[in-house]
Amino acid sequence: MQYEHDLKLWWPHNEAMYVCLLVHYLTDKPEYETWFERIHARAFEHFPDKQCGDWFKYLHRDGAISVPLKGNAWAGPFHLSRMQLYVWQLLEQMTNPSRPCSHI
């Protein structure tokens, strides 16, 4: 059985947050905003290391930390920082439509 069977990984949560907000922006369908808020709340409740910064990369389904690693050969800074930048830019665009959003 693959190791992911019981795990919640950081990067799908990062990508799901951004894509839900983007689809809400592009379609104006409120269910995507709701999904963004749900994923954001769960991810920011469980993944961040509140003492040392960064995110834990692997959680169990119940939100408990599976592995205390925050970096390894597959866990670089790409997904988290990209999601934060893109979500910030998209929220800026949504609140100020005259401001260009470069990544869309």
- The token duo for 53 is 């910064």
Break the chain into its structural domains and give their ranges.
3-95
Rounded CA gap, 49 and 70, in Å? 9
Please give the pLDDT value at position 41.
98
pLDDT, one tens digit per residue, over 79-91 is 999 999 999 999 9
pLDDT, one tens digit per residue, over 3-42 is 667 889 999 999 999 999 999 999 999 999 999 999 999 9
Residue carrying the six token digits 């992911």: 4
Q: Considering only CA atoms, which of 104, 73, 76 is closest in space to residue 90?
A: 104
Q: What value does the mean pLDDT take over residues 55-69?
A: 92
